[in-house]
């Protein structure tokens, strides 16, 4: 684990209950809430500052949960929180995170709406079917991006999901297009999506697991001569969702194993300093079993056995 892991701080996210509570309290204070001292603003400031202090390479903002019924709310809040990161993030660039292109564009423009010098932000995410909307902005607003490997067309891989070859093809398409708009390999962070280990159980014989496909996709892209210098980012916290315990330990093991395939970044709780110290060998063994779940029955049985043992031990 000699290569530094690029930690993208995940905490300013409207879907995290404890953070959403503070966001709601802050928003309820009215028009001057983001410029007038208050307890909610002080808490928000400390969350941003602590992520910078813990070594975050980016501080992510996601307001989608507040804009499900009214996108104008997400747009307004994204701009306001981008300003807070710029003010209190100690020079750490923002990661503008949204499923809506309009919110991404609003956040990107807001980041650069200042006379002060700011670091290049990260936009999460672009897909092959949104690239033509977002990539032209590179000329005016310099940024890096997360390329989400998903397609509008129905996947045709085993079990009704994208195959490794399909995911590689999507990456290649995004990469080639990005090159025409002036992006470099260092600007690109591919995301092959994290599936929770707890439910990564193919229902049909011969179907590889999601973890296997994600890691093999990273490996295949990394072995491509043109794309070998791109980054990879995963939403690591999803890997341990629904587990009965030891979630931080499993996430740490997940990062360690994934780094062996080429992962070098992740949306994480940066307090845990993933990639900096070895994970529990038993948890590494568990994740490795899922990484090997290629559709062969014995490999699936190994993973299921280890997961059963883990769950039994965690519940004691």
Q: Alpha-carbon distance 58 to 95, whole Å? A: 6
Would the pLDDT of 57 be above 50? yes
**Helix (H) / strand (E) containing 75:** helix 71-88
Which has the closest alpha carbon to 241: 228, 254, 258, 259?
254
What is the pLDDT at residue 69? 82
State the pTM of this model.
Answer: 0.96
Phi–psi pair at 124, nearest 5 degrees: -125, 105
Tell me what the mean pLDDT of segment 211-219 comes to: 97
For the segment(s) 6-314, the CATH number from 3.30.2320.50, 3.30.360.10, 3.40.80.10, 3.20.20.20 is: 3.20.20.20
Which has the closest alpha carbon to 265: 274, 253, 252, 277?
274
Would the pLDDT of 40 be above 60? yes
Q: Which residue has the tokens 């600007």?
A: 187
Would the pLDDT of 2 be above 70? no
Q: Alpha-carbon distance 6 to 28, whole Å? A: 34
User: What are the boundaries of each domain within the chain?
Assistant: 6-314
Condensed to tens digits (0 to 9), the pLDDT of residues 239-250 reads 999 999 999 999
Condensed to tens digits (0 to 9), the pLDDT of residues 140-156 reads 999 999 999 999 887 77
């Amino acid at each position: 684990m000699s290569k530094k892991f690029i930690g993208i701080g995940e905490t300013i996210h409207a879907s995290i209950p404890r953070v959403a509570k503070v966001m709601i309290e802050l928003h309820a204070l009215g028009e001057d809430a983001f410029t007038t001292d208050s307890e909610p603003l002080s808490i928000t400031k400390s969350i941003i500052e602590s992520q910078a202090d813990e070594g975050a390479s980016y501080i992510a903002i996601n307001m989608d949960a507040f804009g499900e019924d009214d996108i104008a709310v997400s747009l307004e809040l994204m701009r306001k929180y981008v300003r807070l990161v710029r003010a209190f993030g100690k020079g750490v660039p923002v990661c503008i995170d949204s499923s809506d292109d309009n919110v991404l564009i609003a956040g990107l423009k807001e980041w650069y709406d200042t006379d002060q010098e700011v670091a290049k932000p990260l936009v999460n995410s672009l897909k092959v079917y949104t690239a033509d909307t977002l990539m032209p902005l590179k000329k005016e607003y310099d940024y890096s991006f997360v390329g989400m490997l998903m397609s509008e067309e129905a996947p045709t891989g085993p079990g009704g999901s994208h195959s490794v070859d399909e995911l590689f093809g999507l990456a290649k398409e995004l990469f080639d297009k990005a090159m025409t708009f002036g992006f470099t390999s260092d600007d690109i962070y591919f995301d092959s999506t994290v599936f929770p280990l707890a439910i990564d159980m193919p229902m049909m014989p011969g179907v590889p697991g999601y973890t296997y496909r994600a890691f093999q996709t990273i490996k295949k892209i990394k072995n491509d001569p043109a794309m070998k210098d791109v980054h990879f980012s995963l939403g690591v916290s999803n890997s341990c969702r629904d587990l009965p315990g030891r979630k931080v330990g499993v996430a740490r093991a997940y990062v360690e194993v994934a780094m062996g395939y080429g992962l070098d970044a992740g949306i994480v709780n940066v307090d845990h300093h993933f990639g900096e110290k070895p994970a529990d060998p038993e948890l590494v063994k568990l994740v490795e079993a899922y990484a090997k779940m290629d559709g062969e029955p014995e490999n699936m049985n190994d993973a299921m056995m280890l997961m059963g043992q883990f769950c039994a031990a965690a519940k004691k």
